[in-house]
Structure 1
Amino acid sequence: MSSKIIAGVLASGRGSNFQSILDKISSGELSLQIGVVIADKADAYVLQRAAAAGIPAVVILRQDYSSKEAFEQALIECLQAHKVELLVLAGFMRILSSQVIRAFPEKIINIHPSLLPSFPGLQAQKQAIDYGAKYSGCTVHFVDEGMDSGPIIMQAIVEVAEDDNEASLAAKILEKEHEIFPRVLQLYVQGKIAVQGRQVKILK
């Protein structure tokens, strides 16, 4: 029986970050077990990636529930049924309420395509270009009850070129996301991440 930490992945789209995590698990660089992948869109490609890897792939649709609370309770129950200990948000396009955060305290990790606290929320790459930022990047952070406002674990920087558009900047940032997200998850499973208020320390 595996003693690895079991993670649940929430995603809404292609699942490229999920794939980068799977690849690192396959190569032995990440000692994590994926217990379930949950998507909030029936056509999310991440579901096909999960199924191809033999990982349970579940669709939970918001419109099937009378309230956000009921929808999130369904998420929690599915995660608990798969014995999830760590919740990984890999392009999940919904803000989780305190209901989920209380169920997984300091055990929810998200990746966002900007250097937080700059440009939270949707279309972060477009926000950076419209603002005229010279640098952008990505941020891996713990999730709290705000929008992309939890303690920052790790960031990676990319330069915004004068001819960059939203798509080209997103592609550059995505490369960095695929590097640092699995790295953070490995630090987590090794017990090397310590949170003190807003400060996150990486232990040696």
Structure 2
Amino acid sequence: MRVVILASGNGTNAEALIQAQKGRSYQVVGLASDQAQAKALERAEKLGVPTAVFERKSYDSRLEWEEAIVAWCQSMKAEVLVLAGYMRIVGKSFLEAYPNKIINVHPALLPLFKGKSAIEDAYKAGASRTGVTVHLVDEGIDTGPILSQEALDVDPEWTLEELEERIHQIEHRLYPEAIDRFCQERQ
């Protein structure tokens, strides 16, 4: 299935998805970002994936901005949207254009530690176990149906940076596997 990645930042998950696509049931056909300086754009371009930038400030309304991104995704013939460090709430335009076909990775075992600071929140809470969740996106924040999860037992001696590194290692392996399985089930 044809996949477009939406990313806002560094792009390590996007890079992992692109590098892992060979022999899988998904093909990354584009990457769109809401940040012109996102490292994800450079990573995708180096791997031969077309990119586009849609900065919110360039549009009169949120709706116009979302519709521009959706139109680009549709022009790329995307069948599934994959969020990889996309730091925006996905709005109605996306949900209507891609119902039950938007996937996100979250660096915690949902429903625990929702939101954008999940790793730090788990660390500060002294969680003995956390992990990674891959889920479908719905109207809520980190509330969609769970597709896959993997737990990680936390060593109390780890620094926040060590926990982040271990979470990212799981993401880079689990996310491509979950997307592959999702696409296989829909072909």
TM score, norm. by length of structure 1: 0.88
1:201 — aligned with what? none
1:168 — aligned with what? 162
- List gaps (5 residues or longer) in structure 1: 194-204
1:200 — aligned with what? none
1:11 — aligned with what? 7
Residue identity matched to 1:126: E
- Residue 12 of structure 1 and its aligned partner are, at CA, apart by 0.8
Match among 39, 61, 74 for residue 45 of structure 1? 39
- Residue 31 of structure 1 and its aligned partner are, at CA, apart by 2.7
The number of equivalent residue pairs is: 187
- Residue 164 of structure 1 and its aligned partner are, at CA, apart by 2.4
Residue identity matched to 2:162: S
Q: Which has the higher contact order (CA 8 A, sep 6+)?
A: 2
2:129 — aligned with what? 135
Structure 1 segments, 4+ long, off by >3 Å, are none
Residue identity matched to 1:132: G
Alignment pair present for 1:31 and 2:25: yes
- Residue 192 of structure 1 and its aligned partner are, at CA, apart by 6.6
Alignment pair present for 1:68 and 2:62: yes
Aligned partners of 2:100, 2:159: CA distance in 1, in Å?
35
Q: 2:6 touches 2:82 (CA, 8 Å); kept in 1?
A: yes
Residue identity matched to 2:28: I
Match among 149, 152, 159 for residue 155 of structure 1? 149
**CA deviation map 1:29-50 (0-9, x unaligned):** x232112100111111111111
Match among 158, 176, 187 for residue 182 of structure 1? 176
Match among 80, 83, 92 for residue 86 of structure 1? 80
- List gaps (5 residues or longer) in structure 2: none
**CA deviation map 1:95-134 (0-9, x unaligned):** 1112211110000000000000001111111110121210
Match among 57, 66, 91 for residue 51 of structure 2? 57
**CA deviation map 1:117-152 (0-9, x unaligned):** 001111111110121210011100000010011001
Q: Percent identity?
A: 38
Q: 2:128 touches 2:154 (CA, 8 Å); kept in 1?
A: yes
TM score, norm. by length of structure 2: 0.95
1:197 — aligned with what? none
Residue identity matched to 2:62: K
Aligned partners of 1:136, 1:192: CA distance in 2, in Å?
30
